[in-house]
Structure 1
Amino acid sequence: MKNARGFTLVELLVAITVLAIVAVMGWRGLDGIVRSREQLTQNMEQTRGIQLTFAQLQSDLEQIADKNLLRQRQNILADNTRLVFIRTVLAENAASQLQVVSYQIREGVLLRRESAQTRDLVQLDALWQSAIGDGGAQDGVALQGAVDAMAVRVWEAGGWKAPGNSQPVATPPPAGGGPNPPVAPQTEGPTGLEISLSIQGQPAPLIKVFLLGAV
Structure 2
Amino acid sequence: MRPQKRRRGFTLVELLVAISILAILAVLGWRGLDGIVRARIALTQQMEVTRGMQLAFAQMQSDCEHLAPRSLLGNRVNLLWEDDRLTLVRKVYNENEPTQLVVVSYRVVNGTLVRRESRGTRDLVQLDALWQAVASDAPTESATPVVLQTGLAAMGIQVWQANAWRKEAAPATEGGQPLEPDGIQVSLTSQGLAAPMVKALLLGGT
TM-score, normalised via structure 2 length:
0.87
Query: C-alpha distance in 1, partners of 2:180/2:192?
Result: 36
2:47 alignment partner, SS class: helix
2:82 counterpart residue number: 79
Q: 1 CA distance for matches of 2:60 and 2:168?
A: 16
Deviations 1:64-106 (A, max 9, x none): 1110110021111111121110100011221000001111101
Percent identity over paired residues: 54
Match of 2:164 among 143, 159, 178: 159
The letter of the residue matching 1:198 is: T
2-structure distance, mates of 1:83, 1:160: 16
Question: Which amino acid is 1:193 matched to?
Answer: I
Name the counterpart of 1:207.
Answer: 198
Query: Structure 2 vs 1, CA of residues 115 and 163 (structure 1 numbering), >3 Å: closer, same or farther?
Result: farther
2:204 aligned partner, one-letter code: G
TM-score normalised per structure 1: 0.83
- Return 203-212 or 51-60, whichever deviates more: 203-212
Partner of 1:93: 96
In the other structure, the counterpart of 2:30 is 27
Question: Which position in structure 1 is the counterpart of 2:172?
Answer: none
Q: Distance in 1 between the 2:49 and 2:95 partners?
A: 34
Query: Unmatched 5+ residue regions in structure 2?
Result: 170-174
What one-letter code is carried by the residue in structure 2 that aligns with 1:61?
A: C
Pairing partner for 1:130 from 116, 130, 133: 133
Question: Post-superposition shift, 1:205?
Answer: 2.4
Q: AA paired with 1:125? A: D
Q: Which runs of 5+ in 1 are unaligned?
A: 165-183
Cα displacement (A) at 1:214 = 6.8
Distance 1:213 1:146 in 2: 30
Q: 1:150 aligns with which of 152, 155, 161?
A: 155
User: Is contact 2:69–2:205 with CA below 8 Å preserved after alignment?
Assistant: no
Alpha-carbon distance in structure 2 between the residues aligned to 1:136 and 1:103: 15
